[in-house]
Structures are given as structure tokens and as C-alpha cells.
Amino acid sequence: MFERLVKTAHVAERYRKAPLAQERERYLEHLHRGGHSHDRLKRVNHLLLAVVERTKINGKTPILVADLFEAAGKWVAQTARSSTLPRSIHGAQIDFVSSASGWLRFLGWLEEPCPTPEKPFSNELAMFLHHLHEERGLTDMTLVVRGSLLERFFAWLSGRGGSLLTVTPATITDFFLEHRQRGWKRRTIICYGQSLRAFFRYAASRGWCADNIAKTIDRPCMYSYESLPQGLTWIVVQSLIANVSGNRPANIRDRAAILLLAVYGLRIGEVCALTLDDIDWDSERIHCRRPKQRRTNTYPLTREIGEAVIRYLQEVRPRSSHRQLFLRTNTPHHPISSISLGSQVRAHIRRLGIQLPHYGPHVLRHSCATHLLSEGFSLKEIGDHLGHRSAETTQIYAKVDHQSLREVAAFGLTNVTDLLDDHKVKSKSHQSRFRLDDLRKVANLNLGGVL
């Protein structure tokens, strides 16, 4: 391994004669099998040599993390130049400690710090989340959100010395009042109210708390269609796709992901969950699992998206045992998370320089819906395309169809009868037009030659 990471046999001999050569070489082989790049292996090899030269490692006495930080300080003081920025020095120290910790942990020679104390009411929370998953069938993302909100409440309750048996309606009120003064918005309060009400309903059935707690947890009024979905105009979507270009590996990957978000209206979690097996190249189809609906939608694999995915697979995606389509560009090459990919998409949208209430990847889903609406597709067809379970979910997009609203406003009451008669004629003539096959064709989306 040493010979593959250095340029000359003389230098390789230096690494081999240093202490714990076998242990270092074994760890480098472990990283190589884990998919770490050649450059990263060279860096770790260099750092491990610095570690054994500046620490007393004998395999009998565990090494403290504090000892590694001390050795990192000595190493930086000896090797850093006078012109090196403090930020670079700090980064080098962290890299030194991280590499050393990983190696010693691999060997079982690192004395880990005391484990983090168990979070309050963790057993009760685990049982509740298991109930939501097994009995209610909620998605993993919903469980993550519910768990995060409840952990915050439990930490607050534990800090006051309370228990589930001592919780009263006044306790819940104090929690909301205290945090409302810190700037919580109505939407946040609603989310906490839903989570707490569901938990205390379950807790009462288990005898953990009083029976009446859940009934006393109210929430602020939230009106139907109160907020409008904020999407990009299709011209802006075209500009976004055109701007995510070039030969940077991250851009090649992000371009394919953005096309999937905009053309099919997928959620970011659905894009991250796509696997190599979900693309049927022979039939030119792509299969998407919808966790909320617990079903799979099939879409035509358009030429533009197919070419973007093929380029990503051929030029960027590393060899990996993972079957997920999109992987991290940096080592280790694990499947990319929805948070990480969403941050990349958000950054691309921000570079457009437009003002939006939100810049997350979900705006591309709204953009897809509003574009389909402007193309004349019905709300039912748009809901099928987006994978909506209920037609009511799609109805909110009727509020953003400004063109149709202006047409309605342009008619006087005297023309209502003529308008209705004309609409009946048009509906009959358009019935054959609004088929699902036609909706699938909109996946091409008139990208205007930007691809």
C-alpha cells in the first residue's frame, strides 16, 4: 500500500520503517475498500506518519482525544508557514485529529469520551414513533419531524424537573407561551400542537399521563388555501437548468436531479430514493416510489433527462455497492441525503438572484404544477402527475392560475350564459385531448433548447 501512495521507493521505505507500519497499512487498506479516493489515502498516510512520530502509541495504553489535539498542535507549529491563515491551521488540526481518531478507533486503541447522556423520555418516544410507523403507517420523514419536535418538548419538561404524570394543561400552555415569546410563528405552533396532541393521546392509552391532556391542546386557526405555493415561472426554470452546466462533477449530478424535480414534480426525498433499478432503459421508463401514497408512479424517460442521467453515470458517479442513483461526490461515496442535495439545489436557485419566500427544492414541484396548469391540463391530471392522493391537495394551484382568473374577471354577468354554453362545447372537444398520455408528454416541457 505504501508504494502505491508515494512517488519513490526511498520515501516508501521511510513509511515502512516508521512505528506501527502494519497497523497503518491495514487501516489504509480498509479505507481503500470503503471507496476513499487515492488523494484522500495519500493524505491519511501522511497524517498517520505524523501521528506515530508525535504520540506514544504502544497498543497497551488507550490514547485520549486530548492527546491527539496536543500532538496536532505540535505538528502544526512545526510544519505551518508564517503566511498560513488561521483558518487553514485550524482545518489542518481537525484533519489530523480526525484521521488519528479513525485509525485508533479502527484498532480499538482510542479512549472515547463519555457517551452522551440518554435523552429524557427516550423510551416513551421510541415506543410512540414505532406506533406511528407500524399502526399509522406514517412516512420516515414524518417520524423524523415528529421525533425532533417532541425531543425539544421533553428537554424543556425535563429541565423543569417534570414528568409525564405531572403534565397538566397549564404545563402545555407554559411551553407554548415561553417559546411564542421567542418568535415562534403560527405554522411552527401548529406543528408542535399536532405532535403533542398525538403523543399525549397515545400516552394516555398507555397510562403515562392524565386522560384529558390531548383534548386541551388546541392549535391556531389555519385557513384552507391560506398560503399560495411559490414556484418559479417556466422561463426561470429554463434559466436555472441552463446555468447548472459545465464539467464540475457536482453540477453534472445536480443538473440531472433538478431535471427530475422540475419535469416530474418529484419531492427531494423521492429523488434521493431513486435507484439504478428504477430506470428501465429498454422501455424508456422511470419508476418513482411515492412513500406518502405507498405506490409507484411510472413516467416516460425523456431524451433530455436520459442524457443527463447517462452523463452523470458515465462521468461522475463512482463505482459503489450502493444502488441509489445519486451519491456523494466526496469520499466516502455514500448515497446523498435529501438535506445535502436540497442544499445544493437551493444554492443554484439563489444564484439566479430572484426574490422568493423559500428557495428549497420544493419550489420546482410547484413550478411543474403551475406550468401544467398554464398548459391547460385539469387539476385531476396534474394531481395524478404529482402523485397527490386527494384532489383537494391540487386545488390550491387554481389560486395561482392568474390567466384564467383574469379571463373570468373580463366577462360581465350578461355574458355568463354564453360563457357556460361555450364551455360545454369546448369541454366536449377537449375531452380526448386531456388524456394521461398527453400529460406524460408534457415531461418534455418545452425546455426551449437549453439542454
Q: Which residues contact 62 (CB under 8 A, 6 or more apart)?
A: 109, 110, 111
Q: What SS3 class is residue 429? A: helix
The alpha carbon torsion through 367, 142, 343, 305 (nearest 10 deg) reads: -50
**Distance separating alpha carbons of residues 156 and 143, to the nearest angstrom:** 20
Distance from the Cα of residue 13 to its chain's centroid:
45
Residue reference for cell 382568473: 405
Taken as a whole, the chain contains a residue count of: 451
Q: What SS3 class is residue 300? A: strand
CB atoms within 10 A of CB 91: 11
State whether the Cα torsion 388-392-396-398 is positive or negative: positive
**Distance separating alpha carbons of residues 204 and 211, to the nearest angstrom:** 5
- Closest to 44 measured CA to CA, from 8, 76, 6: 6
- Which of 16, 26, 74, 292 is labelled catalytic? 292
130 is catalytic: no
322 is catalytic: no
- Which of 365, 366, 371, 385 is labelled catalytic? 365
267 is catalytic: yes
Pairing of strands 279-280, 285-290: antiparallel
- Concatenating the DSSP letter of every residue in 194-228 gives HHHHHHHHHHHHHTSS-TTHHHH-------TT-S-
26 is catalytic: no
36 is catalytic: no
359 is catalytic: no
Residue reference for cell 521507493: 9
Which residues are known to be catalytic?
267, 292, 362, 365, 388, 397
